[in-house]
Structure 1
């Protein structure tokens, strides 16, 4: 919001408070140029709606100490859903990141989306019931899916892993079931958002790479996800790394994609071909944790291949942080160290001198926290707040 905007709305004032740019009424007045009477009216609206509270006192050089303004995080509840191929993580959180209750649901991503979403709606209702909350206390639901999402429509866009979900109205369907706003994004985008906002708030740019059954990435620039024009930004798992026609068939229909050589699913396939009883990325994770020599070797190879692809991304974007997440980032530093070494080997010092490469610190909660941030950003944008206040008046 521009400084000295004498027409600043209540929603714009809330953005100042949420961002920390304004901590007192005087600071709001200095930034916006609003008269005291207009500011008092706007603040009364925000306080009555439960968006802002005043507490404590800020030291002042002269005059009476001013009361501190803050976004009333505890009153704003969010439901987060992280959908995977075989299960979904569900959580009820407040706007300040406090997890109130969590649950897990078994799903089959190959089932019709209507069936899956109906089951998830039921589990979310049960979660609210166990927590003693009602759906009326929820400001929104954030959903992450392992697929490209066209954010303007909130719908999956030609997802290789979820073919029946293409252009399916996920947000509209869940809203019909539960009666609250729903927002949908790619899971890697949400993981990137969670890590960036919760662990690296001062980083101007961040790349998050999820390595599990498949591979995907989320890109954060100046605090916001870069989704691309069709939701395909960060879809590095489908970059072809072998010669034409060489390699394994990918879920996207191409041959030789990064995901077919470096994902947890790919490593599990290679181990099975060598006679090991391995069915999933979770099994690979277990073997690496147990020190299985072959599993470690293949994981290191996967890290080098991922690092080769990320070296190009690092050279192109010059990010400050690269985070490796997903189940394959769990076993020690085997994968992360291989990725880090390859990036430094393949990229000039100018791009890596200030680069920090690390494993995810939020782990399985990265998408849950990212979904919360998405909901809060959307439901408490200046326009959304002003629209709700106008309807309530």
Structure 2
């Protein structure tokens, strides 16, 4: 089984689009209780048709009775609603040096999680083996260990071919190129396994939790590398080969002579990533080996560290000004370990973006720090799964499987 593509939930726009129970289910996804009569009135479908589809959904456990509505005469009508706790999701955030595995419900609410320091350079068998064992522990320790597992979502710190879930020449992931991540995980968990670049799923997680009404959002991760997740018109944009948003290797004028690990010169990552800023300060005699060290120094009032972070923000802002002109986002969210020094990096970004972008594109533009913080990855990995399994096609597949085993 290959990884299914993520399908965004479709909102029905009339009876013509409600031919399946999976379509009707989209009205229930916000968790608000409905009666059959209310659904019939909203959709224009016959009550008998609605009743049949609701009965299908009730048998799945994804919808359950939640009491009775007020009666206008006769027997009170039953009310029912989406049950996010009916299924669980394993959400996995694999970073350059850590692995976080969370057990969530279908809304992304965390039930339990584990975080381990484990370099991705240890290789796919070691890292994914840990993911499988951590997932088994979390499922076994759940208050409802018999709860059905809906799927596994995984974010990786490198380019991913989303349709197959295989990493594509990831620069900091030796041994991962072309590895069958989906097949490996499905040997332990025979459910849909969806894999994506880590910053893509961070964008999904941040938006779902804190910006659900925003259709155009950029999530910028500034850590060991620099990348972005692009949500445009409500949809995550991956590009033709999954490399959309790779800002780290856009050329910045100030770095003309700086060699990047990709082999080119002047890349944003070679100037403004956590590792790059730490190297620059170390060359000046400061004890900085990582971006975290830089953030710590800045928090202690180190002027060189503060200035270096401010300059990193300006460099990032130079690239983001072009993105603002091209994509016209409503919100830019800064995340990742270096963004923990928020006010310093943010000041540099805002300084350049607002100076270099036209007023029309920035009048209503918000540039903010991530509110999800280091949990954006698992939040997005959970969303990756729930968007798929709760889509009309996903619901229909579950109902068909239940009918086939009934």
TM-score (norm 1): 0.93
Could you say which residue in structure 1 is the equivalent of 2:389?
Answer: 379
The answer to whether the Cα contact below 8 Å between 1:95 and 1:376 also exists between their aligned partners in 2 is yes
Identify if the C-alpha distance between structure 1 residues 247 and 26 changes in structure 2 by more than 3 Å, giving closer, same or farther.
same
Could you say which residue in structure 2 is the equivalent of 1:45?
Answer: 56
Shift of 1:151: 1.5
- Paired residues for 1:182-201 under 5 Å: 182-201=193-212
The answer to whether the Cα contact below 8 Å between 1:146 and 1:187 also exists between their aligned partners in 2 is yes
The answer to whether the Cα contact below 8 Å between 1:193 and 1:224 also exists between their aligned partners in 2 is no
How many angstroms apart in 2 are the aligned matches of 1:320 and 1:59?
42
How many angstroms apart in 2 are the aligned matches of 1:21 and 1:221?
27
Aligned length: 392
Q: Are residues 1:328 and 2:338 paired?
A: yes
Could you say which residue in structure 2 is the equivalent of 1:100?
Answer: 111
Q: Are residues 1:139 and 2:139 paired?
A: no
How many angstroms apart in 2 are the aligned matches of 1:205 and 1:14?
26
The answer to whether the Cα contact below 8 Å between 1:82 and 1:90 also exists between their aligned partners in 2 is yes
The answer to whether the Cα contact below 8 Å between 1:6 and 1:33 also exists between their aligned partners in 2 is no
Q: Are residues 1:152 and 2:163 paired?
A: yes
Shift of 1:166: 1.8
Gap regions ≥5 residues in structure 2: 1-11
How many angstroms apart in 2 are the aligned matches of 1:200 and 1:63?
43
Match of 1:261 among 249, 268, 271: 271
Q: Are residues 1:25 and 2:36 paired?
A: yes
How many angstroms apart in 1 are the aligned matches of 2:139 and 2:42?
40
- Paired residues for 1:155-304 under 5 Å: 155-242=166-253, 246-250=257-261, 252-304=262-314
Identify if the C-alpha distance between structure 1 residues 135 and 280 changes in structure 2 by more than 3 Å, giving closer, same or farther.
farther
Match of 2:376 among 343, 366, 372: 366
SS of alignment partner, residue 159 of structure 1: coil
* Larger mean Cα displacement after TM superposition, 129-138 or 184-193: 129-138
SS of alignment partner, residue 261 of structure 1: helix
Q: What's the RMSD between the two structures over aligned residues? A: 2.4
Identify if the C-alpha distance between structure 1 residues 336 and 62 changes in structure 2 by more than 3 Å, giving closer, same or farther.
farther
* Larger mean Cα displacement after TM superposition, 32-41 or 231-240: 32-41
Could you say which residue in structure 2 is the equivalent of 1:120?
Answer: 131
How many angstroms apart in 2 are the aligned matches of 1:201 and 1:24?
26
Could you say which residue in structure 1 is the equivalent of 2:3?
Answer: none
SS of alignment partner, residue 130 of structure 2: helix
SS of alignment partner, residue 351 of structure 1: helix
The answer to whether the Cα contact below 8 Å between 1:5 and 1:32 also exists between their aligned partners in 2 is no
Gap regions ≥5 residues in structure 1: none
Identify if the C-alpha distance between structure 1 residues 59 and 290 changes in structure 2 by more than 3 Å, giving closer, same or farther.
farther
How many angstroms apart in 2 are the aligned matches of 1:275 and 1:179?
53
Could you say which residue in structure 2 is the equivalent of 1:88?
Answer: 99
Identify if the C-alpha distance between structure 1 residues 193 and 383 changes in structure 2 by more than 3 Å, giving closer, same or farther.
same
How many angstroms apart in 2 are the aligned matches of 1:154 and 1:307?
31
SS of alignment partner, residue 319 of structure 2: helix
How many angstroms apart in 2 are the aligned matches of 1:60 and 1:218?
49
How many angstroms apart in 1 are the aligned matches of 2:294 and 2:311?
14
TM-score (norm 2): 0.90
Could you say which residue in structure 2 is the equivalent of 1:79?
Answer: 90
